[in-house]
Structure 1
Amino acid sequence: MRTIVTTGTATLVLFDPACMRHRLDDDADWWSLPQEELLEVNRGNAAFMNVGGDGRYELEVVAEAGLPDADVELVLRNTSGRFFLGAGEFMTSDGLEPEAGYGNVFFDAEPGSYLVRARQRGSTVVISLAATDLPASNALGGLVRLGT
Structure 2
Amino acid sequence: MAPVAFTFFTDTATLCVFDPAGLRHKLDDDCDWWSLPCAELAAVNAGQAAFFNLGGDGAYALEVLAGLADPQASVHLAVVSGRVFIGAGEDVTGGGLEPDAACSGLFMDLPPGGYRILARRDGARISLAFLPDARSRNAFAGLVRI
Report the TM-score when normalising by structure 2.
Answer: 0.95
Per-residue CA shift, 1:40-86, capped at 9, x if unaligned? 0000010001102000000111123xx22211112101010100000
Between the aligned residues of both structures, percent identity stands at 49
Residue 141 of structure 2 corresponds to 141
Residue 71 of structure 1 corresponds to 72
Residue 89 of structure 1 corresponds to 90
Structure 1 stretch 68-77 or stretch 40-49: which is displaced more?
Answer: 68-77
> For residues 55 and 120 of structure 2, what CA distance do their matches in structure 1 show?
12
Instruction: Say if 2:16 is the partner of 1:13.
Output: yes
> For residues 47 and 74 of structure 1, what CA distance do their matches in structure 2 show?
6
Q: What secondary structure does 1:84 align onto?
A: strand
> For residues 75 and 14 of structure 2, what CA distance do their matches in structure 1 show?
16
User: What CA RMSD, in Å, does the superposition of the two structures yield over aligned residues?
Assistant: 0.8
Residue 126 of structure 2 corresponds to 125
Instruction: Say if 2:25 is the partner of 1:22.
Output: yes
Uncovered stretches (5+) of structure 2, i.e. residues with no partner: none
Q: What secondary structure does 2:90 align onto?
A: helix
Residue 43 of structure 2 corresponds to 40
Alignment size in residue pairs? 143
Uncovered stretches (5+) of structure 1, i.e. residues with no partner: none
Deviation at 1:103, TM superposition (A): 2.9
Structure 1 stretch 27-36 or stretch 98-107: which is displaced more?
Answer: 98-107
Residue 112 of structure 1 corresponds to 113
Report the TM-score when normalising by structure 1.
Answer: 0.94
> For residues 63 and 37 of structure 1, what CA distance do their matches in structure 2 show?
27
Q: What secondary structure does 1:41 align onto?
A: helix
> For residues 28 and 117 of structure 1, what CA distance do their matches in structure 2 show?
27
